[in-house]
Amino acid sequence: MIEIRSKEYVKVQTALLKQRVAELIKNGVQPKAVILLCGDDAASAAYAKVKQKFADKIGIENELVILPTNTSTEEFVAELEKYNQDDSVQGIMIELPLPKQIDYRTVAMAIDMNKDLDAIHPIHLGNLLSHHPSRIPNTPLSAMSLMEEVNTIFKGKRAVMVGRSTIVGKPLAELMLQKGATVTLAHSQTQNLAELTRSADIICVAVGIPNYITADMVSPGATVIDIGTTYDENGKVHGDVDYASVAPKTHAITPVPGGVGPVTKLMVFKQMIDKLEEVNDFAR
């Protein structure tokens, strides 16, 4: 069994990214990202700080903008538009979830697609589906990167994606499909889910239900990618896979924590730097 821990991968890729940022700065391009946080959600605030710390580490200027919990959709979009129009800002992140009164779709449509670091603008999913990706949601890209690190074979294999969100499940299913896998997109309401997962060579799960995938749902030799993160009352994080019982049956599996999660912040800024190098005609 291969435990796909991401620590070493993140360490190596971070060093490479830091070099690329330094080269941009040397040539007069100072990358800057803005994070918009609305309200006082503790988990969102903590994750924003993690991204700021990582940006600092690799040399990307960053700013955290905190808006009141009672901000309206119109007020949020007006604030967002300031950074859409600010030429010194090349990347914008919107911390989710937004307060209930803010319409997510309106916000997603309002962000400048070229500055959209989390690929929430629907055009990005459309471009991915048409095989012309503009920016890929960071969590699916992280999952694919880790699978490729352990030489996962997709062509001709059966994959089940459990979870159908537009920022994780659907794009990850499409990425595996484009690699040649036969993909079934399932979710928490799928009937006879265990029959589907037992037939799979690759199982990816992102439903936010702790220990949702159990040993009886996995065939020996499968690759299992756990993208779920749920915090219990003691602040301990749990994945969607019952790791203790499932891991011994697998060919490869990601733990939670220490698997997909740490790669996500890396991919946020890697894609930002990829785009900056492209528009500034930098050869890597």
Q: Which residues carry a binding-site annotation for NADP(+)?
A: 163-165, 229
DSSP-derived secondary structure letter, 223: E
**Token pair belonging to 22:** 């330094």
Q: Report CA torsion sign: 41, 43, 47, 52.
A: positive
Angle between helices 169-178 and 138-149 (to 10 degrees): 40
- How many other CB atoms are there within 10 angstroms of residue 208's CB atom? 17
DSSP-derived secondary structure letter, 177: H
Distances (CA, A) of 60 to 54, 107, 131, 168, 274: 9, 24, 30, 26, 13
DSSP-derived secondary structure letter, 169: H
Distances (CA, A) of 254 to 31, 147, 246: 32, 9, 11
Binding residues: 163-165, 229
- How many other CB atoms are there within 10 angstroms of residue 26's CB atom? 8
93 beta partners? 35
d(CA 139, CA 128): 14
Task: Identify the residue whose tokens are 């009886």.
Answer: 216
**Token pair belonging to 242:** 């019952």
Number of H helices, E strands in the chain: 10, 11
d(CA 116, CA 127): 14
